[in-house]
Amino acid sequence: MSESPRVPPDPWHHLREHTAARIALGRSGAGLPTDELLRFGLAHAQARDAVHLALDVAALTARLRPLNLTTHAVRSAATDRASYLLRPDLGRRLHPDDAARLRDLSRPEGCDLLIVIGDGLSAQAIERQAPPLLEAVLSQAPPDWSLGPLVIATQARVALGDEVGAALGARLVAMLIGERPGLSSPDSLGIYLTWAPQAGRHDAQRNCISNVRPEGLPPSAAATRLWWLCREARQLRLTGVELKDRSDQPLLSQRSRD
């Protein structure tokens, strides 16, 4: 009886130890092996669940209480998750009641930086990454910067931070938001920084720090990058395509700031 031909080992298999990317999947006939199909189905289900999972604002507020931040919860104009997903424009606008409430809370002096937490497309990212990131941001805050209250927004898109920042008189707004889930990263958080926030700002006027999570950009490194961008934004009075992120390059010379 002739022996069955041996299947040679996949030369890429050892690389799977170093990445979550879907590589070296192998094949069974013309398709994928059953175990890889099952893993793909699980990853797809996790990404889908991350999009639909609601943010528990009360639980998040309780976790952030040790940071001693004044916290306000707001909603976008999207009344539920279905309208949020089908009408992105509603997620970019504040609910009228919350817009009026924030204007009543504003102070004449405003603040240098306002942090807004938005559920975005992954509440799971906010629940996992926002607390350690906020702790790192506060621990690295320059002493001459004033911070506004923390605002937690539900059914939120990135541009919602512009209206929130304008209502509270912020010179800079940093929107911490759940990013669109990937098959290997359903809990990735993004930071969007905007100078002089106001309704009508567009994405070219923001700087983005993405993939904030332990497997990507750790909270401490993300906070360092955010403060570098904040300082540069205040000096140049702008954010976006004209503000290049060189935070990972060594300084050639020490220059005065502010």
Grade residue 32 by pLDDT with cuts at 50, 70 and 90.
confident
- Whether 241 has a binding-site annotation, put simply, is no
195 phi/psi in degrees, rounded to 5: -85, 140
Q: Which domains are present in the chain?
A: 52-236 (3.40.50.11240)
Length of the chain in terms of residues written? 258
| 170-178 vs 206-212, strand pairing mode | unpaired
CA distance 107 to 94: 19
- Whether 111 has a binding-site annotation, put simply, is no
CA distance 224 to 89: 32
- Longest CA–CA separation in the chain, Å: 90
For 83-140, how does the pLDDT look when each residue is reduced to its tens digit (9 = 90+)?
999 999 999 999 999 999 999 998 889 999 999 999 999 999 999 999 999 999 999 9
Task: Give the bridge partners for 175, in sequence order.
Answer: 116, 192
Q: Give the distance from CA 125 to its chain's centroid.
A: 8
Q: Are 106 and 113 in contact (CB under 8 A)?
A: no
C-alpha radius of gyration, the chain, whole number: 22
SS3 211: strand
For 136-186, how does the pLDDT look when each residue is reduced to its tens digit (9 = 90+)?
999 999 999 999 999 999 999 999 999 999 999 999 999 999 998 776 678
Grade residue 3 by pLDDT with cuts at 50, 70 and 90.
low
